[in-house]
Amino acid sequence: MDMRHYKEWIKIGLNILYYRKEQRLTQQQLADLCGENGVSRAFIQRVETGVSSCSLDTLIDIAAALKIPLYKLFEFKE
């Protein structure tokens, strides 16, 4: 992961976690809803904690699975 944007990836991960919990989904359920693009429960966990980044395509899949507009993943509260 490019460390220049580490703080942003932490915030994106926290947003994914927030909306996943709001939908009462487990990490496995979210991974399953993301379709067949190779998203695993472990990958969701790594993205939520900022250990891994992901592609825009994957973020689009995650937002769709969470039934939220993509921009919600980029709304950062200070």
- pLDDT tens, per residue, the chain with 78 residues: 667 888 999 999 999 999 999 999 999 999 999 987 779 999 999 999 999 999 999 999 999 999 999 999 999 876
Topology given in CATH for the domain delimited by 3-73: 434 Repressor (Amino-terminal Domain) (1.10.260)
Domain coordinates in residue numbering, the chain: 3-73
Task: Look at the chain and count its residues.
Answer: 78
Tokens 């395509």 locate to 57
Q: What pTM was computed for the model?
A: 0.91
In terms of Cα–Cα distance, which of 19, 13, 15 is closest to 33?
19
Separation CA 43–CA 28 (nearest Å): 10
